[in-house]
Amino acid sequence: MHTAQPRIYVAGHHGLVGSAIVRTLRARGCTDIVTRSHAELELTDQAAVRAFFRNEHIDEVYLAAAKVGGIHANNTYPAEFIFHNLMVQANVVHEAWRNGVRKLLFLGSSCIYPRLAEQPIREEYLMDGALEPTNEPYAIAKIAGIKLCESYNRQYGTDYRSVMPTNLYGPGDNFHPDNSHVIPALIRRFHEAKTTGADEVVIWGSGKPMREFLYVDDMAAASVHVMQLARDVYRAHTGIMLSHINVGTGEDTAIGDLARLIGKTVGYAGRIVCDGSKPDGTPRKLLDVTKLQSLGWVASMPLARGLQLAYRSFLETLRWTPSGAHPSLADELLRA
């Protein structure tokens, strides 16, 4: 006798994380996956979200839809970042509950933690200090998402969980020159410098801040792992008011070292210059992943290999072939 598969809605399936979650679910044999593009479903529209859940009979939700960006984007569009994310979270969580969705996974961000949090950052450090000013509106929205899930669990007995990933990168990333995160921004910058023959590449800040980077398919695998944990197991490792779980590698890298590694991956041979007049952001951000590891999941993608795959993804967005890459990496890119 076959048990019916759950009907799973992945919100934000065109994004970096959402697309990886869909890949992971399909690879594990899930066939009843529901997706909607932004044009098909505007998640800030409560009536539209209400109609969607009423009509689709969803069993599980992966809430990966969000407005995201790097330091420049967060500084430039703070109102959009807080409004859009608050509205999406409130609408999806509330309408999921109204329509009997039994399980939901909310995907947050490590920027929820205090700017000067003790390292590595444990889950209990949430709201234990001031946030990083450059992305405070986005961080507050993500904190609200965690508390939204916790509040519905407390009042309505739902099984809504939260995972907080570190900095993500990989296939499907946003390589926009102004609004992208650090890895895709640097990949684009180094690639353009190589193709134009530029003598130097300038990176923001001192190059000293430490960051942790997680390949997006690892993040997706961790998300599905956490979602599939038995409810009593998840609750035994979390709390009523501290229900989120960190997702990361447990290792970090200086931005300057990351830039050099990306330059090597791309095949750029010029100088790398740090512009100290630009903001560094948080000095260090390394997640404590003890809780997740105790639940049986560990990241598997090495940073060097992940950057090669991310660069190949960038080349594909330009409709390039791997032959445009540095000759020493061409065979590796072709085999990936």
CA–CA separation, 238 and 162 (whole Å): 10
DSSP 3-state of 121:
strand
3-state helix, strand, coil in the chain (%, to 5): 45, 15, 40
Count of helices and strands (H, E) across the chain: 12, 13
Helix runs in 132-230, H state only: 136-156, 182-196, 216-228
CA distance 28 to 11: 19
Tell me how far CA of residue 39 lies from CA of 33, 35, 89, in angstroms: 18, 12, 18
Return the structure tokens found at 168: 């993500």
Distance (Å, whole) CA 193 – CA 200: 7
Residue 316: strand, helix, or coil: helix
Contacts of 257-261 with C-beta under 8 Å, sequence gap 24+, read 258/182, 258/183, 258/186, 258/211, 258/213, 259/186, 259/190, 259/201, 259/203, 259/207, 261/303, 261/304, 261/307
Residue 287: DSSP 8-state: B
Of the candidates 282, 132, 275, 271, the one whose C-alpha atom is nearest the C-alpha of residue 204 is 275
CA atoms within 13 A on the CB side of 98: 16
Tracing tokens 């512009």 back to the chain, one arrives at: 275
Are 105 and 162 a contacting pair, CB within 8 Å?
Answer: yes
Active-site annotation holds for 152: no
Active-site position among 9, 62, 113, 138:
138
Residue positions annotated with a catalytic role: 138
